[in-house]
């Protein structure tokens, strides 16, 4: 019998809890009001990096109904 395993690439853009941060055009990162990505899983949204999201145990794939 053949077994098939589905592997999901755990990316920051594919997580149900991540949102792009508010960014202003033509501003350096240090002058931006928010980081590039925000995690909204907890009550307090927090800035996250792609590496943090990649290893997060709460990562959930975004579905068609979420988008």
Q: What is the DSSP letter of 45?
A: -
Q: Considering the entire predicted model, what is its pTM?
A: 0.68
User: What integer pLDDT is reported at residue 9 of this predicted model?
Assistant: 78
Rounded Cα–Cα distance for residues 17 and 41 (Å): 5
Q: Calculate the CA dihedral of residues 4, 15, 49, 23 and round it to 10 degrees.
A: 140
Structural domain count of the chain: 1
Domain ranges, residue 6: 1-67
Residues pairing with 20 in the sheet: 37
Rg, the chain, Cα only: 15
Mean pLDDT of 40-44: 89
User: What integer pLDDT is reported at residue 29 of this predicted model?
Assistant: 87
Mean pLDDT of 40-60: 90
Residue 6's pLDDT band (boundaries 50, 70, 90)? low
Residue 23: which of 36, 11, 12 has the closest Cα?
36
């Amino acid at each position: 019998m053949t077994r098939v395993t589905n592997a999901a690439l755990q990316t920051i853009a594919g997580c149900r809890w991540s949102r792009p941060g508010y960014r202003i055009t033509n501003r350096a990162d240090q002058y931006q009001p928010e980081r590039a990505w925000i995690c909204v899983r907890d009550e307090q949204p927090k800035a996250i990096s792609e590496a943090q999201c990649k290893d997060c145990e709460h990562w959930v794939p975004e579905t068609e109904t979420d988008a």
